[in-house]
Structure 1
């Protein structure tokens, strides 16, 4: 992540006066899931506005974790309050826990079209979904591996604690888990059905955006081939073409 990231754009009110066309060429199958699903992750045909926001922030190097994003958003709320605007977190997190920061600085201004079209099809595949139970030893049930130095200790202690009551045994297991969490994988994975769309074409998306955001994105053309859309597997090539009036 870049060490010096300019967030000054978030202090100003958005003015969507710049017209542009966002051209996206998928370099891998995409899985663009807009809603929190049950047992199946169904993809959209085209990206939602929130996904494009993630793409723009990806291009700008805004790879912030949820804690830092929330701190930045709280500062935005204070600034907007002085500007007589009521900003609420609930407006932006619908569909996923990702909290976008640039949602008000652009908009999709027309119909999405396909250019240079060759082929398109959908398919389903198994995706390794990450889970984390940092508060409970139940996390261990999903981990394939733990640090080799813990294997014998875990086996001996957990076997010994079987003689205790269920409540007491769970308490000791949880304490042992917390004390050794640095030697245990942060996540365990579970195969989950997920839909992908393979598209050999260029998506052209007309957008209106804030002038400052447009200037920042236009300077990022050289990194477009390492951007992703939908999830971290959906690599795309991106070109932003400003419309001249």
Structure 2
């Protein structure tokens, strides 16, 4: 991962004056879930603007966790306030917990079309959805494995603490869990139905974007054109072309 990431673009007012065509060729089945899915993750046929924002940030190496994203967004909010523009986190996060940072800097400017089309079909599969409860020993209930050095200790102590009151028992279990969290998987998984689209074609997406963003993406595009779309399993080949600079 890059250590020195230039975020100066986020301090300038976006100017959407550069026209481009984004070409996306799926290299694997895609699952592009647009809304909060509930019990079934239904895919869309084409990516939303928010998904393209994730794609662009992926190209730029902006792999930030939620905590860092919030810090960056707070700084953006202060800058925009001085520029007489109001940023609302709730609007940007609509549909998922992902907080995009480049939504202001481009727009989809026309209809998405397909070229070199050969086939397309949808199917459903079970996907391992990751969960994390770093604040509670309930996390252990979903983990298939923990460090072998903890197995006997956990069994003996948890059995002993079950004789205490519920509040005291949970408190001791939580304390033990947090102390040993380095030997416990960060996530536990649950099989979740998810829909995929298998597309053998190239998506052509007309976009209008800020000149500075266009220059950054073109530079990265020349280095590597492999990214992911929708989720980390949806590998795609990306080409940005016909840019008027």
How would you bin the TM-score normalised by the shorter chain?
over 0.9
* CA-to-aligned-CA distance 1:12-65 (integer Å, 9 cap, x gap): 111000000000000000000011111100000000000000000000111111
d(CA) in 1 for partners of 2:161, 2:79: 54
Match of residue 76 from structure 2: 76
Structure 1 residues 194-233: aligned runs within 5 Å: 194-221=194-221, 222-225=223-226, 227-233=227-233
Change (3 A) 1:244 1:163: closer
Q: Does 1:146 align with 2:146?
A: yes
CA shift for structure 1 position 168: 2.2
For residues 133 and 69 of structure 2, the distance between their equivalents in structure 1, rounded to whole angstroms, comes to 22
Query: 1:120 aligned to 2:116?
Result: no
For the residues of structure 1 that align with 2:165 and 2:77, how far apart are their CA atoms?
Answer: 49
Q: Which runs of 5+ in 2 are unaligned?
A: none
The CA deviation at 1:110 is 0.2
1:34 matches 2:44: no
Distance in structure 2 (CA, Å) of the matches to 1:119 and 1:133: 41
SS in 2 for 1:220: helix
Q: What TM-score comes out, normalization by structure 1 length?
A: 0.97
> 8 Å contact 2:18–2:244 — kept in the other structure?
no
**Matches of 1:148 and 1:58, distance apart in 2:** 36
Q: Which range moves more in the overlay, 88-97 or 45-54?
A: 88-97
Q: CA deviation at 1:244?
A: 4.5
- Equivalent residue, structure 2, for 1:67: 67
Moved over 6 A (4+): none
In 2, Cα distance between equivalents of 1:34 and 1:190: 21
**Whole-angstrom distance in 1 between the partners of 2:7 and 2:165:** 54
User: TM-score scaled by structure 2?
Assistant: 0.97
- Counterparts of 1:1-245 in structure 2, within 5 Å, are 1-221=1-221, 222-225=223-226, 227-244=227-244
- 1:164 positional shift: 2.0
CA distance in 2 between counterparts of 1:54 and 1:184 reads 30
SS in structure 2 at match of 1:219: helix
Segment of structure 1 superposing worse, 45-54 or 77-86 = 77-86
In 2: Cα distance, 1:60 partner to 1:143 partner: 34
Equivalent residues, number: 244
Secondary structure of residue in 2 paired with 1:84 = coil
Shift of 1:134: 1.1
Q: What stretches of structure 1 of length at least 5 have no aligned partner?
A: none
SS in 1 for 2:50: helix
Q: Distance in 2 between matches of 1:158 and 1:79?
A: 51
